[in-house]
Structures are given as structure tokens and as C-alpha cells.
Amino acid sequence: MALKSGRHRQQFGRGASALRRHHGADVLLAVEVEEEEEEDVVVVSEDLARNEASRLGRHRRNNHIHITSHLALRSIPPSPTHLHPVTQSTQLGCDGAILSSSDASDASVVQQEHNYQLVDPLIASYNGGNVFAGATLPFGMAKSVADVSGQNTAGFSYDGSNVTGFSALHDSGTGGQPSMGNFPLSVQYCDDDKIACKYGPKLDRAVDVVNGTVQAQPGYFSLKLANGMVMETTTTEHTALYHFSTEDAQSGPLVLLDLTDLQDSRQNATVSVDPNTGRIMGNGTFLPSFGVGSYQSYFCIDFQGADIRDTGIWVNDRAGSGQKDLFVNRGYSLFYIQAGAFVRFQSPQCGNLTARVGLSFMSTQQACGNAEREIPDFDFSRVRTAAADAWKSKFTGVTIEPGGASTSLQKTFFTGIYRTMISPQNYTGENPLWQSSEPYFESFYCIWDSFRTAFPFLVVYQPDVLSQLIRSLLDTYVHLGWLPDCRMQLCKGYSQGGSNADVVIGDAYVKSLSGVDWDLAYKAIVNDAENEPFDWGVNGRGGLVSWKQYGYIPFQDYDYLGFGPSFHSISRTLEYAYDDFAVAQVARGLGRETDYEKYLERSANWQNLYKADQTSFWPNGTDTGFVGFLQPRFANGTWRFQDPMECSPLDSKFCSYSSNPRETFESAIWEYVFFVPQDQAGLIRAVGGPDNFVRRLDYLHESGLLDIGNEPSELTCFQYHYAGRPGLSAKRLHTYIPSSFNSSINGLPGNDDSGAQGSFLAFAMSGMFPVAGQSVYLITPPFFESVSWTSPVTGKAATIRNVNFDVEYHNLYIQSAKLDGNEYNKSWIGHEFFLQGGVLELTLGSEESGWGTKEEDLPPSASSGGR
């Protein structure tokens, strides 16, 4: 994952009760409805709480209801069985009457409404998940939320820090430096008091959040600040709409536009404010959060709901109304100037002020045009309803029969699906780099994380979107010469290993994705395999001369063709091998047999770094008892030593792109030795057979050497299948879900990485896990009684159903299986199951069985002839 943060942390139990124990605060009155093992918490007023408790007591005989005081750290989306928080307005008149509502009542959309209500955008917004918690559309460019002073990689985090502003460009789930957060708005109620009205640095203007007031639904976000202001926001594709209100009708709001971003990377910027209309327009040049170069973004802000008192500009802590235009840059000394524009309003009618923020990467005029076209009427309720409807339409392709599974698990599942649609972001029509009629997407952040499950999930769930994404990648190749491995904010991001877009393309090809020029796609991935760019640190592969000559990337490789990070020789070798395997699959499908044989042979290069006699010891000298590990190798064939435990969670050093670089990226040799998805049979033979393979997998998971919050670890949960022990894969999953993956605000063990962790959950909990680049799904029992996926291509439903399902999960092991009534013994199934539909019925028991254990029932491997 990209420079992930919050790698190690304690995991807490399900629901608000665990969070309450953690934070130990008594702040707000709430109603708790205890169902099974979880607590759903909704913050309300004291009187309303008692009334609701009384009502629920009459209608819920089987649930214990009580009133308690605590810090409510998690919101529950409104539904017929939950209270509507008093801070959440759909659009209120002066008397508080609801002017419009977004509640769905059409029986035909009951299922999608149900799934939508189970989504909680605040899950994993705290403690390293870095999930974007705000308002956006599926794959939308505008992403609006409150930015905080603490952990603000995605703008907002539920970490108790103060709000510094409200901005509408963000990424989701990334690590390292915060992404974007350009041009934040700050709203104050300070009349003409020059001391009370704060300009200058955003931290000086930061305001506390009122505990328990944060609310989030797909397409909507709101909170209340300690200054009495309530902020609500929703979005269209390129425009954010804010609704500011306060109980103090006597104060006129002061709105500041800040020419900055979350990481204070602004290089230069311009702003102008119209004294008659209050419109604020401008642009700025900023740096990407994990890449090279710079990008320019544009904004256009209009207001409605109050008369203008004054306008002007501000620089540092001084403001004036005499000037209406401003240009700032870093200057020769690189001093960062705090600056922007302001509009001061009369007291708004009903205390409400609406701000519309149009965004563009093309021009200020296009930013204004986007806003005027998408939200011509400033109707917050209409835009919010449209955003909710857009999200609800995305939940028609999956249904579950919970079978008594907890609401917490259902939320974990559906919110995981939701997170697969936050990024990448659709910038079509907003690409200033080249002219093209092809789709253009940004925030491939990074494909090293997302090729494993996020892209394969879209093959199943939204193939039309995946087709556009691949076309965007190919268009980038056409105009820039290379497929990206990482890309954000119109800039090239740093490659973290191989050219993993090759696997994305190979995966889509073997699963018969339509709408892609496969000849062009093949040309692009062969270019990665054969040609080296000058700067292979941001695209393509490096060390290809050595790769072709020696069959591995040597330690301290001499690369005269280009430059890039000269380390990670082990992880690069493994990834290049699998990238070549993906190229081979496309070559075979296109009838290029010579190419197929060449790249298939190169996919076996992992063996050239496998040192059969390499041992592994703990720091105290205790032998792990395992022999045979990957090791760095010089160009002359001699070995160099790297401790197989180095870079593991137990190591004091975290080996990332630039921090403590070693020969493996972000994981230890202990974990990387399992990354041979193209030939697990060959790996099993190398480590001494199935029993040793299983022992080694168990040791990896149970000794603390594996970081389940990092994407390379995900497949290791399922690799027992290849040793004929599929039941152990199911057992292993339940050690991590829900202990590490759950519905709390810290419900992920690491960065979500643009939906990579969300897609891992969606697959794992549905009983089908993809081996990226192959038409292979490893079968385990779903976490629910049944899960059904409806193919957008054929309209047919693929159902995985458990027989003897129990919510205590004692029956974890498949005893037998039937596909459409016929006996099915393989521990895997191909993608045709999702296209053709059918019912896969899994009969469960409490002990391992012989199902899926025979050699002919194992998943395919290259060295076993694809069997």
C-alpha cells in the first residue's frame, strides 16, 4: 500500500460498546438498542430519547432498551428502525418543518434501499483506514467533507481533532501525505469584531466538533461545530453543495476561501471575488501526494441565502476590502503565504447559507460551467436525494440472506462494496494533458494495492466501469508511452513493484470483459515486458536487461537504460514474474503461441531467488524450524543475506518506498515467499510438500510475521486450498473477520487503499475469492446463509448458499457441494459461474472433510499443466 500509516494497532470488538470502552467518556445522551452482540447508537435529545425508548419498549419485546450516556463515535444511517438525528436536516423551513424528504417508499426498490441503509461511510475513517467519509457520487470527482487538523489523509478522521475547513477534492484510503483538500472554505460568525474574526493559518481558525453530531450516508455528510454552526454537504459529479446554518440568527457569517491544500503544497495561486455577486473564482498549482510533477485545479464558488455586506482578500492575518484580486506564490525564499478571499454576509434568512463549489482541472470557466449546469437551483434536498438515488442504484447487483448474521457483519460487507466505488475517480472531460474521446480516470492509487481484488471485483460487479477504467489506462499508454502503476492528481505516481496494470488487463481478458481493444491492450503489456523507460520509478519496469539475461533482478543491479529505486530486488522479481504470467494469458487467448511460451517460461523466474537451504531464526537465536526462503542475489549468481523476518510487523523497521528500503517492499521474505499465484504447486514442492506448506502458512499467520492490513497478505488466507486443505482457509478468515475487519470507525487494520480492503471483504465474506489474473475463484462458506450476485452482462444470478449455516460459525467446513443440483468437488470455480449464473450449494459441518482435497480438485497451477 502507498506509504501506509497506522500499521499496527489494537483491534476492538464490534459496535459502539467496544468504542465506548476504548474512549471511556460520558458526554451525550443516547438510545441504545442491543441486538445480538452489537449496539446501534443514535444520538438524540434527552426528551426524544425517553420518548423513543418508550415507543421501542412497546414494539420490541425481544430487545433490551435502556438510556445511557457516552461518547457516540459512530453514526447509523436513518432507517425505519432508527431515529433521525436532530442535527440532520433534509431542508428545514423556519419552523423546522420538513420541506422535502429522501425516504424511499416504492416497494420495487426495497432491496436496494435496505442495502444502502447498511452502508456506513464512517467505517475505517479513524486510526489508519483513511477512508473518505464525506459526500461523493460513485467514482465522482467532487468529494466534499470537513477537513481536520489531525489524521487528515482523506480530509476527515474521527480522531477528535478540530475542523480546519471544508473542501471538495480528496482521495480515499491512501497512506503517507494527505491528498488534495484544495481551496477549503472556513465559516465564522464574528460580526465586525476584528479580533474574533480569524484570518491567517487554518490551524488558528480550527473549531471543535460537537461530540456525536457527525452523520454520514453515501452522498451526504454533516456535523455540528462548537461555534454552533451545522454544516451539511452533498455533491454532483464536479460540484459540491454546502448548507451552513446556526441557531444564532443575529450573526452574519464570514466565509473565507483559503488558497491551500491539506499538505500545504501550493506553489502559486490566484483568486478574485465579485463585490456584487460574491462569486469567488481562482486556481492554484499544487504537488501530488505520492508522485512527481505538479497539477493545477480551478474553482468557482457562489452563495445563496443571505445579502452581501462586504468582500475582499486576506493575506496572513490581515484582510481588506479594497482589493478584489490576488496572486500568491512561494517566492524566492519558498515562504508559504497564507492567503485567500472572503465574503461577509448579512444575517441569513432562517440562519441558512448555501455555498456551491464548482470544480475543474481545465479552467475557471469550466468550473463555473460545471456548477451552473449540475446545480442551477441551489436545491440541497434535490441534490442530496439524487446522490442517494445514484448510490442506491449501485446496490441492485447483490442480495444476501443473513440467516441471523449480525447487523454489524452486514454493514461490514455492504460498506466494503461501497468503498470499491469511491475511487478511481471519473475525470472524463477534465483532462488537460491531452485531447481524447476516451474515458479518463484518476486516482489509481496504487494498482500495486488494487490489482489483487479491487479490479477483479469490478469484473463481477461493474464490468462497464472496469471497461472504462482499462480504456483510460490504455489511453494513458497511447499518450504517455506506458501503463501507470500509480497515478493521482494528473501526475505519475511512484511504482511500488512491477507493472501491475498487466495483471489488471490479463484478469479482465481471461474473464471475457467486453468494450476493450485487446490488440492495443496486448501491445501495451508487451511494451511493459520488453522495453524499459528512462524513469522506471514511475511507470514500466526497470532492470529488464538483467531480467532477460539472468532471470531475476540482481541485488544492486547495474541498470544503464534508466533509473529508479535500485532496491526491492526480491519483490520486483516476484511481481515481474507474475506480470509476465498475465502477459502469457493474453498471448494465448490471442493465438500468439510463441509469445505465450516465452512469457510463461519467464513467469517461473521466481525460482531463481529461492535458496533451498536458507534458514530463519528469531532474534534470540531460536530456529523457526523452516528451511527454504527467497534471498537477494548478485548478478554473478552469489547470494546476499536478508533476514527473512526483516520488514515484518515484528521488525522495528517499516520497509516502504523511501523508508528503510530493503529487497522486499512493505513485507518480509516470510510473506513474499508465498507470492507465486501462477504456480502454487511448484512452490509447494519447493518447500517440501503440502504438509510443510500448511505448517509454514500457519506459522506465518500465528507468529505475528504477517500484516493482515497489507494487500500481499490477503491471498495467504486462501492458499491452504492449493495444499488440499480448503477448510483451513475458511477457518483462517474467521480469525480476521470481524476482529480486524469490522463495522467500527477503526474497522480496518490498515489503509483501505482505494477500495482494496473493501473488495477483499466483499469477496471473502461472499465465499468467492479471486486469484487475480486467472479465471479462478477459491470457494469458502459465505458469512451469510446465502449471497447472490446478478451479472450486469447476462442478468443471471450466481448464488452461493450454505446448508447447515449457523451464526456462531461452528460449521466452517464444507462437507460436500452441488452446482445446480450436481455434485461439485473442486475447491474453486471459474468466472463463467458469475456470467452463466447458477446455485452453488455448500453443505457445512464442524470438522474438515475430504471435499476439495483430491489432486484433481485443486486450483490450477502453471507447473501442473494448468490443472
CATH of the domain at 472: 1.20.1610.10
Please count the structural domains in the chain: 2
- Same domain, yes or no, for 387 and 417? no
CA distance 276 to 310: 9
Q: Which residue has the cell 444476501?
A: 400
pLDDT at 271: 99
- Same domain, yes or no, for 277 and 412? no
Report yes or no on 527 lying in a domain.
yes
At 708, is the secondary structure helix, strand, or coil?
coil
Report yes or no on 423 lying in a domain.
yes
- Same domain, yes or no, for 621 and 677? yes
Contacts of 515 (CB under 8 A, 6+ apart): 464, 467, 468, 471
- Beta-carbon count within 10 A of 407 CB: 19
Report yes or no on 8 lying in a domain.
no
- Same domain, yes or no, for 638 and 665? yes
Report yes or no on 33 lying in a domain.
no
CA distance 747 to 861: 34
Q: At what angle do helices 518-530 and 569-589 cross, to 10 degrees?
A: 150
Burial class (CB in 10 A: 0-12, 13-18, 19+), 499: buried
CATH code of residue 269: 2.70.98.10
- Same domain, yes or no, for 351 and 465? no
- Same domain, yes or no, for 442 and 295? no
- Same domain, yes or no, for 651 and 721? yes
Pairing of strands 797-803, 838-845: parallel
Q: Which of 362, 393, 424 lies at the terminal end of a domain, its last residue?
A: 393
Residue 444's nearest CA partner among 468, 463, 412, 460 is: 468
pLDDT at 852: 98
pLDDT at 867: 53
Report yes or no on 311 lying in a domain.
yes
Angle at 479 between CA 473 and CA 485, to 5 degrees: 35
- Same domain, yes or no, for 581 and 683? yes
- Same domain, yes or no, for 639 and 705? yes
For residue 716, what are the domain limits? 407-864
Report yes or no on 164 lying in a domain.
yes
Q: Which of 393, 425, 460 lies at the terminal end of a domain, its last residue?
A: 393
- Please, are residues 483 and 477 in contact by the beta-carbon 8 Å criterion? yes
Report yes or no on 21 lying in a domain.
no
Q: What is the pTM of this model?
A: 0.89
Q: What is the 3-state secondary structure (H, E, C) of 81-107?
A: CCCCCCCCCCCECCCCCECCCCCCCCH
Q: At what angle do helices 593-602 and 569-589 cross, to 10 degrees?
A: 160
Q: Which residue has the cell 525564499?
A: 333
> Which residue stretches of the chain have pLDDT < 50?
1-105, 107-108
Report yes or no on 398 lying in a domain.
no
pLDDT at 82: 31
- Please, are residues 138 and 224 in contact by the beta-carbon 8 Å criterion? no
- Same domain, yes or no, for 785 and 660? yes
Residue 109's nearest CA partner among 436, 393, 493 is: 393
Q: Which of 337, 370, 393 lies at the terminal end of a domain, its last residue?
A: 393
- Same domain, yes or no, for 428 and 378? no
Read off φ and ψ for residue 627, nearest 5 degrees: -130, 140
- Same domain, yes or no, for 538 and 613? yes
